[in-house]
Amino acid sequence: MSALPPLVEPAAELTKEEVARYSRHLIIPDVGVNGQKRLKNAKVLVIGAGGLGSPALLYLAAAGVGTLGIVDFDVVDESNLQRQVIHGQSDVGKLKAASAQESIAEINPLVKVHLHTDRLDSSNALEIFEQYDLIVDGTDNFATRYLVNDAAVLLGKPYVWGSIFRFEGQVSVFWEDAPNGKGLNYRDLYPEPPPPGMVPSCAEGGVLGVLCASIGSIMVTEAIKLLTGIGEPLLGRLISYDALDMKYREVKIRKDPDTPKITELIDYEAFCGVVSDEAAQAASGSTITPAELKAKFDSGENFALIDVREPHEYEIVNIKGATLIPKDRILSGEALAELPQDKPIVLHCKSGARSAEALAALHAAGFKDATHLGGGVLAWAKQIDPSLPTY
């Protein structure tokens, strides 16, 4: 497959200042003045000003994309700074979108920036997407990925998708209405979301900071190719990158004839099930607060506190008196014999999702009075023991 037609018409002119600023683009014959004028005229929406959004926004701005939209309702946290390079120490506590806008102004004051600081959902996605030529999706959860895909399909817009986890990343381009019958969308690759709790998020599993730069820069490269109509885009191809082995692999994606036609936006949280039905049911009525857990300790109650995180997480921070039994050993049944039968069990994880899954397994195995700590060790550190580090 060769280049697609350019997505954007060229702007009328480049100013003297723009010619000087973009000279290294202008002397590449494939980009040239015409390509740079297309970038100037382009409107690109970046979903998320986090790990992937940071390098994407910085390089789209530096490249001279005339209008950038940023969708992000979150605020900068210190744990973001290891990879989200658009933010700095002085931005902690600021809206990520506003912090990103300031960095963009510093890199290229000629770029117009629009901020969308409401949570993206089915009620506002179409209205926001309509204003842009191309979407760059750097989100880290399945509910938003399916929402972005379906909104892009309904509006006939192309989007560049990337994802990262630990040392691995993936990038592709989805465009249902691509010319020459080449169109496909994210549901052709992933018809259904994985079961809740199956795929850990970056907050649970971690990510090598610099991986964001590798994947984010590929995403921007694809965006520039689509906007200017040069090169061979990643439409129908997925690039998978393994940083530890330093290997790139390419996987072909084909249109799946069984992919249902997208006709409307749905409830994506329900579609993806943030936690499984079993976990939600188990947690209902069997969740205790950090204050209630502290009261158990203070009164000298005889109970077993079980930490269901991974050993490396336990090393970072743990609640004194907790026994480490990772969730997978409970779900497989392997660790059930290690649990006390003669006293109540309280489970906890980082934020409450994994302990809810483990709780469902314990209830099913007959430990009917088992409970779990709502909000996990993060809530404990915040509400009860601020001396503990968080991660």
Q: Cα separation of 373 and 292, whole Å?
A: 9
- Catalytic residue status for 272: no
Alpha helices in the chain (DSSP H): 16-21, 23-26, 32-41, 53-63, 96-107, 125-129, 142-155, 186-189, 202-205, 211-228, 268-272, 277-283, 290-298, 311-316, 327-331, 353-364, 376-383
Question: Looking at residue 112, what DSSP letter applies?
Answer: E
Q: Cα separation of 202 and 128, whole Å?
A: 26
Chain-centre distance for alpha carbon 67: 23
Q: What are the Cα distances from residue 326, in Å, to 59, 309, 311?
A: 40, 5, 8
| Owner of token pair 């990103």 | 100
Helix (H, G, I), strand (E, B) or coil at 174: strand
Side chain identity at residue 212, one-letter code: C
Q: Cα separation of 349 and 353, whole Å?
A: 7
Q: Which of 188, 96, 179 is nearest to 138 (CA)?
A: 96
Catalytic option among 14, 308, 349, 356 = 349
Q: Which of 365, 349, 269, 364 is nearest to 317 (CA)?
A: 349
Side chain identity at residue 221, one-letter code: T
Q: At what angle do helices 53-63 and 211-228 cross, to 10 degrees?
A: 40
Q: Which of 177, 133, 116, 136 is nearest to 40 (CA)?
A: 133
Catalytic option among 58, 71, 202, 347 = 202
Q: Cα separation of 245 and 223, whole Å?
A: 26
- Catalytic residue status for 202: yes
Which residues form the catalytic set? Answer: 202, 349
